[in-house]
Copies of this chain bind each other. A is one copy, B any other.
Amino acid sequence: MYRDVLGAQVSQPEPQEEHGVYTVFVEMPGEGAKVELIHPLGDASPIANFLDRNPSGGIHHICFEVDAIDAAMADVRAKGIRTLSEHSKIGAHGKPVVFLHPKDCGGILVELEEA
């Protein structure tokens, strides 16, 4: 759909063993944002629950870039936003990422990624 209908540049699927997903990176022509398609990999994929609740698929999370992940984590915590892990992890792009608690973000799973 992204390639054939919307004209996006779409990568080959890449297994991300440590994250339990396959990723496909989608670059829309002229858009400043990217779409990342994720598909479960393995028996304990962290997106299995999401697909149980949304068998047709859906929008799993949104991601914002930050300059420095540690400073961003300290900042959001100081403002009462919980992070889902104590420390950042290396995400699918090889950069540090952290997820914020959906209950603190209007029901939305928010990822921060170091730019």
Contact = CB atoms under 8 A, between A and B. Distances in A.
A64 B6 CA distance: 9
Q: Residue among A28, A31, A54, A107 with the most chain B CB within 10 A?
A: A107
Contacts of A62: 35, 59
Nearest to A76: B5
A32 interface: yes
Nearest to A51: B107
Contacts of A54: 107
Interface residues of A, number: 31
Given A6-B64, A59-B59, A64-B6, A1 B105 contact: yes
Interface in A1-16: 1, 4-6
Nearest 9 CB-CB pairs, A to B? Answer: A32-B32, A57-B107, A56-B107, A33-B33, A59-B59, A57-B106, A58-B107, A5-B79, A5-B76
B104 A1 contact: yes
